[in-house]
Copies of this chain bind each other. A is one copy, B any other.
């Protein structure tokens, strides 16, 4: 286990004080898992001094990043995401790939890591030296968690991982985040769970490049095939994707390793097709723009609402609104003017 670790680096690591971003980077570029793990720990840290190291690490890793295939995987708890990831991961490693597994789970700070937290769920995969599995980043806001995962992708790519699997749990907002950082979006479903059409958020179906109906084995097989037809019908209702890709529906059984090869063949066909028609790069750049504007909008709000003087002013205006003394719009005008004046030191 973890044979991709350099003893020399581990030795360096023990006398931490002397370890610079350069030392970490050297090990990271060699594919050292401890260095990668440590880098992600910096990414996850809220400390200012760690953030400075992160800036240095990310800047150095960027030119070596972007060469992997990033696959988003979602589905409600119990659908078999871990089993599927383990099966797909092992198959890809057998094909000579290096596979990293990350997660976006904004709820994990409360539930203490519902995704990947329990590594034993991927018992086989964790023992492979070509696999890197990182439990979900913790954090209070989805924006924060998403940013951390996105930076972790860059680090994994710089460490030589070819396939990045980003797992999330089906609650809406986190899917959008994962969709905006991956090249292909997989939705895992179960047949006959009473949620064929009704229970699914339309937005998630709309994002999916493929729907995999898992546990399509034994007594489930017939209902899985029925569900497949229903989903195919449902997918027809959506407009053609800009990627020109028609979303696929497949029955699989991750537990029996059934359908894993055809899933990869589908992914491979997709990647070839979108690299060919230019969508792959176009989408990647659009995602980067999205993250730029997302970060900016978060910053704008954060700096505004955390401005110490403004908090009192906001309370006063809310009171005035409640007493019908001012309209919400006028109050917004006044608060914003107040903020600008404070910034200018007036």
Q: Is the CB of A296 within 8 A of B335?
A: yes
Residues on B with beta carbons closer than 8 Å to the beta carbon of A201: 202
Q: How far is the CA of A146 from the CA of B37 in the complex (A)?
A: 48
A291 touches B63 (CB 8 A): no
Chain B residues within an 8 Å CB radius of A296: 304, 332, 335-336
Judge if A197 is at the interface, Cβ distance under 8 Å: yes
Establish whether residues A327 and B197, one from each chain, have CB atoms under 8 Å apart when the complex forms: no
Is A344 an interface residue, CB under 8 A from the partner? Answer: yes
Provided the pairs A65-B324, A201-B202, A324-B65 are in contact, do residues A58 and B291 lie with their beta carbons within 8 angstroms? no
Whether A292 and B304, one on each chain, are in contact in the complex, defined by CB atoms closer than 8 angstroms, is: no
Instruction: Kindly state whether residue A207 has any CB partner on chain B within 8 Å.
Output: no
Q: A326 near B59 (CB under 8 angstroms)?
A: yes
A310: nearest residue on chain B (CB-CB)? B296
- The majority secondary structure among interface residues of chain A is helix
Contact A288 B59 (CB under 8 A): no
Tell me if A331 and B292 are in contact (CB < 8 A).
yes
Q: A111 near B: Cβ within 8 Å?
A: no
Q: Does A110 contact B (CB under 8 A)?
A: no
| Inter-subunit contact A198/B237 (CB<8 Å) | yes
Separation in Å of the A195 CB from the closest CB of chain B? 9
Chain B residues closer than 8 Å to A333, beta-carbon distance: 55, 295, 299
Question: Is residue A261 within 8 Å, beta carbon to beta carbon, of the partner chain?
Answer: no
Cβ-neighbour of A154 out of B151, B327, B331 (below 8 A):
B327
Partner of A330, one of B55, B297, B318: B55
Instruction: State how many angstroms separate the Cβ of A129 from the closest Cβ of chain B.
Output: 28
Residues in B neighbouring A304, C-beta threshold 8 A: 296, 300
| A287 vs chain B, min Cβ distance (A) | 8
Within 8 A of B (CB), among A299-338: 299-301, 303-304, 317-318, 321-322, 324-333, 335-336
A98 in contact (CB, < 8 A): no
Please state if B327 and A151 are interface contacts (CB–CB under 8 Å).
yes
Complex partner residue of A324 from B66, B289, B321, B330, CB under 8 angstroms: B66
Say yes or no: is A266 at the interface (Cβ < 8 Å to chain B): no
CB contacts under 8 Å to B, within A224-250, are 234, 237
**Chain B residues in 8 Å Cβ range of A202:** 201-202
A311–B324 Cα gap in the complex (Å)? 39
Whole-angstrom CA separation of A202 from B343 in the bound complex: 42
Which 8 A-B pairs have CB atoms at the shortest separation, nearest pair first? A295-B332, A291-B328, A292-B328, A300-B300, A299-B336, A296-B332, A288-B328, A58-B327
Not counting A198-B234, A291-B332, a sample of 17 additional A-B residue pairs whose C-beta atoms are within 8 angstroms of each other reads A55-B330, A62-B325, A62-B326, A63-B324, A66-B324, A198-B237, A201-B202, A202-B202, A288-B321, A288-B328, A289-B318, A292-B335, A295-B333, A297-B301, A299-B336, A303-B336, A344-B345
- Selected A-B contacts with CB under 8 Å, 20 pairs: A58-B327, A59-B326, A62-B324, A62-B325, A62-B326, A62-B327, A151-B329, A197-B197, A198-B237, A199-B237, A288-B321, A289-B328, A291-B332, A292-B317, A292-B318, A292-B331, A292-B332, A296-B335, A300-B300, A344-B345
